[in-house]
């Protein structure tokens, strides 16, 4: 599996701290920035990661900002992206199992580095269940029609 990772200034340190977890899981990653704690605009990094996922350049994405929300909202503007904010392992698993989320957004200011490592493990080791959830995910794609976006 290959993923794109990105963060704003609020998530920079956490982005850097999660890299050993990704290495331990055998997940290859492309770091799309930011490269410091200097203030930046989170939509720029969310877009880079989301476009890499949507284009198939990478399989999935990981974003980090203060709450995770701004990154998820921004990433979800890209057709084909289903970004979910997860603050627990259970939420991360359900986002994958039921929603086939392909981008994880983490709240750097509201989860410890240890909690984030466990959330990342849960998200990237969980598969989409399909079945009764597949038609629902298909309906999400229908909302993304070009005439509505």
Going from N- to C-terminal start, the domains of the chain cover 2-143
What fold characterizes domain 2-143?
A: Ribose 5-phosphate Isomerase B; Chain: A, (3.40.1400)
pLDDT in tens, 107-149: 999 999 999 999 999 999 999 999 999 999 999 888 876 555 5
Cα→Cα distances 99→16, 53, 110, 119, 126, Å: 27, 16, 23, 16, 12
Q: What is the pLDDT of residues 26-85, one digit of tens each?
A: 999 999 999 999 999 999 999 999 999 999 999 999 999 999 999 999 999 999 999 999
The H-or-E segment that residue 84 falls in is strand 83-85
Report cis status (omega within 30 of 0) of the bond before 90: no
- The residue from 9, 98, 133, 149 that is catalytic is 98
Active site residue 98: yes
Q: Which of 9, 65, 133, 149 is catalytic?
A: 65
pTM of the model: 0.95
CA distance 118 to 139: 30
Residues in the chain: 149
Annotated active-site residue 65? The verdict is yes
- The answer to whether the beta carbons of residues 3 and 62 sit under 8 Å apart is yes
The CA distance from 53 to 50, in Å, is 5
> How far, CA to CA in Å, does 79 sit from each of 29, 34, 102?
21, 23, 12
């Amino acid at each position: 599996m290959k993923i794109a990772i990105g963060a704003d200034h609020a998530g920079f340190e956490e982005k850097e701290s999660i890299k050993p977890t990704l290495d331990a899981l055998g997940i290859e990653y492309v770091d799309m920035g930011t490269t410091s704690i200097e203030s930046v605009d989170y939509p720029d990094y969310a877009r880079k990661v989301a476009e890499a996922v949507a284009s198939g350049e990478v399989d999935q994405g990981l974003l980090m900002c203060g709450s995770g929300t701004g990154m998820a909202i921004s990433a979800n503007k890209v057709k084909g992206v289903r970004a979910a904010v997860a603050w627990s392992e259970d939420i991360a698993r359900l986002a994958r199992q039921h929603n086939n989320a392909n981008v994880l957004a983490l709240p750097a200011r509201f989860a410890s580095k240890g909690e984030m490592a466990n959330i990342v493990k849960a998200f990237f080791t969980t598969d989409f269940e399909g079945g009764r959830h597949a038609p629902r995910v298909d309906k999400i794609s229908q909302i993304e029609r070009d005439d509505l976006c």
